Structure 1
Amino acid sequence: MKIGTTLSGYLARIYTINMLWLLAALLGVIYLFDTVELLRRAGKAEDVPLVLVLQMGLLKLPEVGQILFPFAILFSAMYTFWQLTRCYELIVVRAAGFSVWQFMAPVLGVAVLTGLLQMSLINPVGAVLVGKFEQLENTYLNRQTSQIAVFKEGLWLRQAIPAGSSTQNPEGYVILHAEKVKQPGWALKNVSVLFFDESDTFLQRLDADSASLQNGYWDFDHAVIHKKDGKTRQDSGAVLPTQLTIQDVEDSFASPDTMSFWHLPSYIRTLEETGFDASRLRVHYYNLMAQPLLFAAMVLLAAIVSLRPPRNHGALGLFTGGVFAGFLIFFMSSFLQALGASQQIPPFWAAWSPALICFLLGLAAVMSLEDG
């Protein structure tokens, strides 16, 4: 017997409403705690208005929301199935000859559609908002003066020159460009450094075959300094004071949360062509692609623990087990993604394994526990 569109729409509508209400409640709680934390950090800084803090809390929500999506899918599906079972609606549906797969299909469809929307629409919009949040955070809370970007032309870095740190370098800031970066060791190739004073006036340019980041300074090899008046001189021992460390430089790159799903492939390619390791971004990219399958697995898990008659006294235990399983999947996924980012396992399998394993296990469990 084929399930009708009216019944399918009814099930899909109930599940969608429950999911949106639960997601809104979770985001509200997270926003409250994030805002309190931002207010604490803003209290240690100067000239950070309350309106800006509230705005930063809202801008950060998409980052947290995408982490909460699997839990919202799982818990809302558990509540929907439990609600329909408690009211005997699903029992009537099954007595009418419909299988468990037929009345689960609308819920599965909503979950998969939500995963596709998160990947193709919610993630790009959220990336813009999170990028704005990080920009405000670096400006008002972290007071970060160094900026790093990677393009097809290579690495670009802007840093201030510490006042009084050296007599051979003028005070102000520099913009450093390198065509290639050799990992590990952070050896820059074909380096150019532009020097500016505090009023943005160009002072001089330094060209070098290579440069390396040492403890507290950049060390240039075979450097040639071009003065503003046209004079040049060679400096075999040229150094540039810096407060950056290798960890600071790596952490300054665009985080995965600020990169749109549609822009990730080209950015990954640019990083790899420049010489950087893009494993963390690859894991993030594949993880976004796996979201629809993971959301479907969450619905199957919810069905296992919720499709029980009200008289079954083991329902509470199964429900608790479902919550535990949801958090177990989250930690397993985070662990595998960390392994993929560190190149311990291939990024593809680091991202896809949790969703694929959970979906297959959920499929087998529903088939064994239900007679549909």
Structure 2
Amino acid sequence: MNVTSFFPSRTVAAYMARLFLTRTFGIAAGLVLVLLTLNLLSESSKILGVAGNGQAEVMRYVSLRGPQLIAFAIPYSVLLGTILTLMTMNQNSEIIALKASGLSAHQVLAPLLLASLGVAIVSFAFNDRVVTRATATLNRWQKVDYAALPPDRGDRTNVWVRDGDDLIEVDSIAGRGATARLAGVTLYDRTGGSLVSIIRAPAGKLEGDGWRIGPATRFDVASGQLTSIGSVVVARGVRPDQFTLGTVDADGLSFGALRAAIGDLGGAGRPTKALEGSLWHKLSGPLSSVLMPLLGAVAAFGLARSGQLFVRAVIGMALGFAYFVADNFALAMGNLGAYPPFLAAWAPFLLFFLIGEAVLIRSEE
């Protein structure tokens, strides 16, 4: 059987896809505009409260926060766009005409499913290339309370690592693994919780199982004397990943970068279950757009017999929003380690796919 025979005619399929996409992106634009306006009401005073900040910084915040809100709004917009499209077609008896021509419920929904797959692909690319970068930059900006940011070269800054009782502060780290280079190293030498001395050095690199820093100076707390000690090896047993991967923000990393970070952490013997769940969710999240036409389809079928258009629309919205609640709950449980990573990311999708199919088949009977 020809694959195209599963769809309605080309004209009908294009008509349904156009209705669906225009309503989806129209709703998304409205949601983003409202959410961004409300967000600016709370953040603009903080931005403008920093000396030197003005309209340019506010617009910069909009450019960074906007992609996050777009990614948040798209799945909800697909759900509402599906329900609005099917309600309109049902009110105009177009669904009845399609069913009378011999099309099944799945064939009627086929154009919306194909269009939503396109939305999912675009959403994944947008999240991976735009949203992650905007999130990482916005997080760095908010950490300095919207003050001026130094150029971002991908290096980590202001890192603290604990080595037994000692604390190590590093201004910046460049490179990964054995090639990692430290800049602005400060070692707080403590014994029993009491500070003994402070060792400072402008640079450091990995040597054996420790870090050679120099030229170093040592300030002795008891005597108050500052002495030069040249090059010295400190922090024996501290791994490079403790500096470069001390904290991994899954939302601020692309799919490939997050997978590489998980590999580094796993190679160092550190737990990665929560990050693995976030990695899988980078795929299942955008793909939820394909699920929305199936969950919202209850607004299209069975109306000729029941006549309860509004009730069916509410049922469709309830199913869609229940999916988002279940998805967030499963991801949270995965982060806590209660669910395996794959299950945390994909179980809600598979569960509501089966629910949507059951409701669709029930509506046709």
TM-score range relative to shorter protein: 0.7 to 0.9
**More deviation in 296-305 or 44-53?**
44-53
Partner of 1:204: 216
In the alignment, is residue 280 of structure 1 matched against residue 305 of structure 2?
no
Alpha-carbon distance in 1 for matches of 2:272, 2:280:
12
Q: Distance in 2 between matches of 1:81 and 1:66?
A: 24
Q: Give the secondary-structure state (helix, strand or coil) at the position aligned to 1:344.
A: coil
Structure 1 spans left out of the alignment, 5+ residues: 180-188, 195-201, 207-224, 239-245
Taking the aligned partners of 1:327 and 1:343, their CA distance within structure 2 comes to 24
Provide Cα deviations, 1:32-77, integer angstroms capped at 9, x if missing partner. Answer: 1222222132255433323212211221222232222221111110
CA distance in 2, matches of 1:235, 1:88: 77
Unaligned runs of 5+ in 2: 150-156, 160-171, 189-193, 219-226, 237-241
- 1:83: how far off? 1.0
**Corresponding residue SS for 2:198:** coil
Q: CA distance change for structure 1 residues 154 and 71 in 2, over 3 Å: closer, same or farther? A: farther
Corresponding position of 2:72: 67
For residues 278 and 154 of structure 1, the distance between their equivalents in structure 2, rounded to whole angstroms, comes to 23
SS at match of 2:28: helix
2:275 pairs with 1:255: no
CA RMSD of aligned residues (A): 3.8
Partner of 1:130: 135
Partner of 1:109: 114
Structure 2 matches for 1:177-216, cutoff 5 A? 190-192=209-211, 194=213, 203-204=215-216
Residue in 1 aligned with 2:158? Answer: 146
Closer, same or farther: CA 11–226 of 1 in aligned 2, 3 Å:
farther
Q: Structure 1's 315 and 22: CA in aligned 2 closer, same or farther, altered over 3 A?
A: same
Distance in 1 between the 2:270 and 2:63 partners? Answer: 32
Q: CA deviation at 1:293?
A: 4.7
Which residue does the alignment assign to 1:343? 337
- Name 1:168's counterpart in structure 2: 197
Q: Aligned partners of 1:331 and 1:178: how far apart in 2?
A: 46
Tell me what 1:303 maps to. Answer: 297
Structure 2 CA distance for partners of 1:40 and 1:328, relative to 1, 3 Å: farther
Q: Contact (CA 8 Å) 2:128, 2:254: kept in 1 or not? A: yes
Q: 1:314 to 1:130 in 2, by over 3 A?
A: same
From the two aligned structures, give the one with the greater helix fraction: 2
Paired residues of 2:181 and 2:204 also in contact (CA < 8 A) = yes
Structure 1 stretch 99-108 or stretch 348-357: which is displaced more?
Answer: 99-108
Alpha-carbon distance in 2 for matches of 1:51, 1:310 = 55
Partner of 1:227: 229
| CA distances 1:108-149 after superposition (whole Å, capped 9, x unpaired) | 111122222222444222212222222322334389972487
Distance 2:265 2:361 in 1: 45
- 2:169 counterpart residue number: none
Aligned in 2, Cα 1:279/1:90: closer, same or farther, shift over 3 Å? same
Distance change >3 Å, CA 89–CA 352, structure 1 → 2: same
Q: Which moved more, 1:2-11 or 1:339-348?
A: 2-11
Q: Is the 8 A contact 1:112 1:292 kept in 2?
A: no
2:355 counterpart of 1:330 = no
Query: Is 2:17 aligned against 1:12?
Result: yes
Q: Which residue of 2 aligns with 1:215?
A: none
